[in-house]
Amino acid sequence: MNRIIMHIDMDAFFASIEQAQKQWLRGKPIAISGNPNGRSVIATASYEARVYGIKSGMPLREAKLLYPKLIILKGEMAEYERISKELYELFYQFAPAVERFSIDEVFMDLTYSAKDSDEAHEIGRRIKNDVKNKFGITCTVGISVNKLLSKIAAKLAKPDGLIVLKENDIDNVLKKLPIGKITGIGKKTNLTLKEKFGVEKIEDLQKISLTDLVAVFHSYGNFLYDACRGIDDSPLITIIDKEETKSIGNSITFDVDTDNIIYVKAILRMLSSRVTFRLRKDNFSCRVVTIMIRYDDFNTLTHRMTIPSTNLDKEIYEASIKLFQDVYNGSKVRLLGITASQLSYSEEANNLFSNECETKEKGLLYAMDSARERFGFKITEYGNENFLDSKFVLTDKKLSAKSAIKNE
**C-beta of residue 180 within 8 angstroms of C-beta of residue 152:** no
**Cα 54 to Cα 52: distance, rounded to the nearest angstrom:** 6
Active site residues: 105
- How distant is the alpha carbon of residue 130 from its chain centre? 27
**Cα 307 to Cα 206: distance, rounded to the nearest angstrom:** 32
Q: State the helix-helix crossing angle for 261-281 and 360-375, rounded to 10 degrees.
A: 80
In 3D space, the residue among 257, 337, 251 whose CA is nearest the CA of residue 297 turns out to be 257
Cα four-point dihedral sign 11, 15, 18, 20: negative
**Cα 92 to Cα 106: distance, rounded to the nearest angstrom:** 10
Give the list of residues 6+ apart from residue 21 with CB closer than 8 angstroms, or none. Answer: 136
Q: 3: exposed, middle or buried (C-beta count within 10 Å: 0-12, 13-18, 19+)?
A: middle
Question: 3-class DSSP state for residue 85?
Answer: helix
Q: Could you tell me whether strands 300-310 and 284-295 are parallel, antiparallel, or unpaired per DSSP bridges?
A: antiparallel
Helix (H) or strand (E) holding 307: strand 300-310
**Cα 16 to Cα 103: distance, rounded to the nearest angstrom:** 14
**C-beta of residue 340 within 8 angstroms of C-beta of residue 324:** no
User: Within 13 A of 54's CA, how many CA atoms are on the CB side?
Assistant: 33
